[in-house]
């Protein structure tokens, strides 16, 4: 009688049930991999773009260090290592244009400045407590939705005299402040980095001081006694001759104490709105005279330099003072 040949267990193949189970497991693994592929790719590209934006910021600072100014919008693509994000969309470069041109008669557009005309708003209504003032430049990527949503605002909730750049929390719905590419409000996802003027000054190694008023207070005086006090300024870009700075005094009461005069004697109810040509020039501001009335007089002293010889974008510093006149000694 013929016997069937027994196949050793080590040589036995898969059964149909076992093959089916393997195929199901492989399918689940493939589905899981495909499901995870999107988020992983998105995360990789966001991290890559953050590195590109950071590198662009450092390239701009390097340009500023050697050129003593910031690159213009036209120069930006060649000034940075990579002008496109990981989605191949060009980065947006928002710049205070006054920092891109060295003023006539000076050698630097950055180190002598005290302020800029740009503010970063951290919400739609530009809440003052959350604002970032004196921003030199901003670099923006539209991220994965390929839609730059970060734009500029002048007027409205933006502080007077400023250009605001509104930056939102990731995921804020219905945002598109930059209609120049895709005019499509959607969840905010931009990757944004800004540099303030103080940060830029540090990055480029500025040595000169910013414009400031040196004094912290005014000496008190006495009725019917001779009074004199000098207010000094330092830093900025002073005039070469004819007085280093321009001065303006803004008394809270509208006028200086009776018997006191100032040299230069530019007094205004609103120095910020006073034409530059009306600000008198001198190395320092001197109060003198014989006060006749006892009181405490509040005032704000303004000083401006020659940062913009052909325009109005000079550095301006201000400080509040109280001049106390005591009874006759």
Q: Tokens representing 280? A: 């008198």
Sign of torsion over alpha carbons 54, 56, 59, 64: negative
Residue 94: which pLDDT band, with cuts at 50, 70 and 90? very high
Of 193, 285, 302, nearest in space to 243 by CA: 285
Q: pTM of this prediction?
A: 0.62
> Each residue of 180-205: pLDDT tens digit?
998 999 999 999 999 999 899 989 98
Residue 39: which pLDDT band, with cuts at 50, 70 and 90? low
CB 323 within 8 A of CB 299: yes
* Confidence at residue 161, expressed as pLDDT on a 0 to 100 scale: 87
> Each residue of 235-246: pLDDT tens digit?
888 888 899 999
> Which domains occur in the chain, in start order?
44-204 (no CATH), 212-326 (2.60.40.10)
Pairwise CA distance, residues 199 & 132, whole Å? 12
Say whether pLDDT at 226 is over 70: yes
Average pLDDT over every residue of 20-41: 70
Pairwise CA distance, residues 182 & 176, whole Å? 8
Average pLDDT over every residue of 130-140: 95
Question: Strands 284-289 and 212-213, how do they pair?
Answer: unpaired
* Confidence at residue 154, expressed as pLDDT on a 0 to 100 scale: 94
Residue 251: which pLDDT band, with cuts at 50, 70 and 90? very high
């Amino acid at each position: 009688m013929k016997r069937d040949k027994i196949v050793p267990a080590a040589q036995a193949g898969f059964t149909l049930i076992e093959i089916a189970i393997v195929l199901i497991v492989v399918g689940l693994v493939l589905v899981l991999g495909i499901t995870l592929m999107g988020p992983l790719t998105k995360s990789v590209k966001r991290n890559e773009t953050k590195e590109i934006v950071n590198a662009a910021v450092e390239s701009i600072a390097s340009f500023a260090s050697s050129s003593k100014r910031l690159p213009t919008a036209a120069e930006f693509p060649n000034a940075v290592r990579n002008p496109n994000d990981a989605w191949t969309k060009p980065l947006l470069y928002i710049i205070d244009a006054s920092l891109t041109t060295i003023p006539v008669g000076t050698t630097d557009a950055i180190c002598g400045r005290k302020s800029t005309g740009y503010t970063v708003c951290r919400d739609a209504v530009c809440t003052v407590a959350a604002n970032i003032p004196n921003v030199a430049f901003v670099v923006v990527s539209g991220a994965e939705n390929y839609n730059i949503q970060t734009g500029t605002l002048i007027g409205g909730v933006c502080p007077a005299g400023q250009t605001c750049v509104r930056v939102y929390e990731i995921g804020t719905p219905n945002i598109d402040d930059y209609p120049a590419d895709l005019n499509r409000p959607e969840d905010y996802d931009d990757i944004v980095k800004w540099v303030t003027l103080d940060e830029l000054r540090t990055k480029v190694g500025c040595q000169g001081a910013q414009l400031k008023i040196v004094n912290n207070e005014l000496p008190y005086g006495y009725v019917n006694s001779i009074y004199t006090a000098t207010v000094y300024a330092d830093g900025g870009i002073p005039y070469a001759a004819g007085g280093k700075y321009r001065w303006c005094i803004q008394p809270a009461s509208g006028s200086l104490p009776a018997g006191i005069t100032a040299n230069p004697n530019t007094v205004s109810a609103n120095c910020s709105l006073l034409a530059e040509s009306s600000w008198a020039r001198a190395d320092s501001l001197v109060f003198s005279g014989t006060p006749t009335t006892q009181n405490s007089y509040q005032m704000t002293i303004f000083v401006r330099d020659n940062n913009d010889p052909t325009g109005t974008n000079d550095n301006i510093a201000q400080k509040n003072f109280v001049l106390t006149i005591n009874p006759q000694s």
